[in-house]
Chain A
Amino acid sequence: AIQLTQSPSSLSASVGDRVTITCRASQGISSALAWYQQKPGKAPKLLIYDASSLESGVPSRFSGSGSGTDFTLTISSLQPEDFATYYCQQFNSYPHRLTFGGGTKVEIK
């Protein structure tokens, strides 16, 4: 199964900071990657699909990049509502063995 490794596992940042989260796949997955945001006690919310496409309604401060094995989620200017945990997910092996990364918790500095 394709494994996804996110880094860092947690980070502290201030409002207005630029934040970058990386996701590395154990083998090439083309652009078959999505990013989700999860707040405590809530279901994940889709942010980015196909590695770099912004889901409708998601603020433009969120962006995704990468292909193959290395991917990045960037928040250009962190807002108070962005403090959450972020997960990457690959669907290259769809419909088999869909996998998620271990998550990155973004906390307030």
Chain B
Amino acid sequence: QVTLRESGPALVKPTQTLTLTCTFSGFSLSTSGMCVSWIRQPPGKALEWLALIDWDDDKYYSTSLKTRLTISKDTSKNQVVLTMTNMDPVDTATYYCARIPSEVERWFDYWGQGTLVTVSS
């Protein structure tokens, strides 16, 4: 049974760095082709892809946010971590992690329940 769960602070101040953790089970991020991605959704708005890390530790980022994002993994802990620097109120959103199961199945088949992050002083 595949599950993903996001964790992190519910409230951050402007200019602070956000660190979110995705803890997953039911699959291994060392399996060839497997990827985990972060996606966010501001209140009442559309989904926005942020970053992806694959089984080979290759990392890919949204062009518009690339300078602020870092994605990493700890395969032994079944965790993927996203850091976002210089947080701003416009970064207020629900942040999701999701799985891409293979290089052929390149869609998000399982999602975490999401974690709402509010940026406010």
* Contacts from A to B (Cβ < 8 Å): 1, 32, 34, 36, 42-46, 49, 55, 87, 89, 91, 94-103
Contact = CB atoms under 8 A, between A and B. Distances in A.
Contacts of A94: 100, 106
B24 interface: no
Given A95-B35, A95-B60, A103-B46, A46 B52 contact: no
A43 B106 contact: no
Interface of B: 35, 37, 39, 46-49, 52, 54, 58, 60, 62-63, 96, 98, 100, 105-109, 111-114
Contacts of A42: 113
Nearest to B111: A43
A9 B52 CA distance: 28
Contacts of B60: 95-96
Contact of B106 (A87, A91, A100): A91
B112 A46 contact: no
